Amino acid sequence: MIKIENMTKIYGSGEAEVRALDGVSLEITKGEWVAITGPSGSGKSTLMHIIGCLDSPTSGEYWLNGAEVSGMDDTQLASVRNREIGFVFQSFNLLSRVDALQQVMLPLQYQRGDKRLPRNERAKRSREMLELVGLGDRTHHLPTELSGGQQQRVAIARALAQQPSILLADEPTGNLDSKSGAEVMEILHRLHREQGLTVVMVTHDPKVAAQAQRVIHFQDGLIVEPQQQGVA
């Protein structure tokens, strides 16, 4: 479902040139749980952002569900982000001063075409999603009234609201204590198991990475040792 070929991402130029991705090729199939690890600056987050269509590569090809993403314009990318991708950030990135229910409804506003949910069903979907992450009783809480773990669960509910085919998580437990982190991981596992969600996750925590079906290790913009593991 994800196919990347010979991708490079270069920041700056001349002396200051940084090759964040230096010719990466990779394939991820539907329903897979993949962890991307590596030291900071190795290019794992850059790859994640490109997969999530938040950033564009300098060169190389990126196919998502059979469509070539690397040639798309801004509007098409917005559509792909909305339909195919749910993104969970390390720092949650919730809107301040907006309650949990509306946070989750946010991506639903931007739906277009036949997947678009009628307005009156969005609150219902949003509530279902919050229940799915165990926050059914926190629908009208503002981010400041929620713990870190709860905020990240709202973010997961939001990422899944428009039923994307892939969930991308960039250090989802990075800002959480171990207990909240474990709760978040538990939710991701459940979603992966029960809904067959494809999960790609960046982490530098070996314990978190070990829970994935496959770990891709990055170093200096290159994949160094693709590893195959059993189901965690």
Closest distance of CB 152 from other proteins, Å: 15
Torsion angles phi and psi, residue 67, rounded to 5: -105, 140
Q: Are 185 and 157 in contact (CB under 8 A)?
A: no
Contacts to other proteins by CB under 8 A: 49, 52-56, 74-75, 78-79, 81-83, 87, 89, 93, 95-98, 102, 106-107, 109-111, 119, 158, 162
- How many CB atoms sit inside 10 A of residue 147's CB? 11
Distance from the first to the final alpha carbon of the chain: 22
In this structure, are residues 200 and 166 in contact, taking their beta carbons and an 8 Å threshold? Answer: yes
Category of 104 on φ-ψ map: left (φ > 0), alpha (ψ -120 to 50) or beta = alpha
- Is the CB of 53 or the CB of 64 nearer to other proteins? 53
Identity of the residue, 97 or 179, whose beta carbon is nearer to other proteins in the bound complex: 97
**Of the two residues 70 and 111, which places its CB atom closer to other proteins in the complex?**
111
Q: Least distance to other proteins from the beta carbon of 157, Å?
A: 13
Residues in a beta bridge with 67: 64
Can you tell me the distance from the alpha carbon of 217 to that of 202, in angstroms, rounded to the nearest whole number?
Answer: 10
Question: Among residues 149 and 164, whose Cβ is nearest to other proteins?
Answer: 164
Q: Quick one: 108 or 223, whose CB is closer to other proteins? A: 108
- Tell me how far, at minimum, the Cβ of 195 lies from other proteins, in Å: 20
Least distance to other proteins, CB of residue 74, Å: 6
Q: How far is the CB of 178 from other proteins (least distance, A)?
A: 26
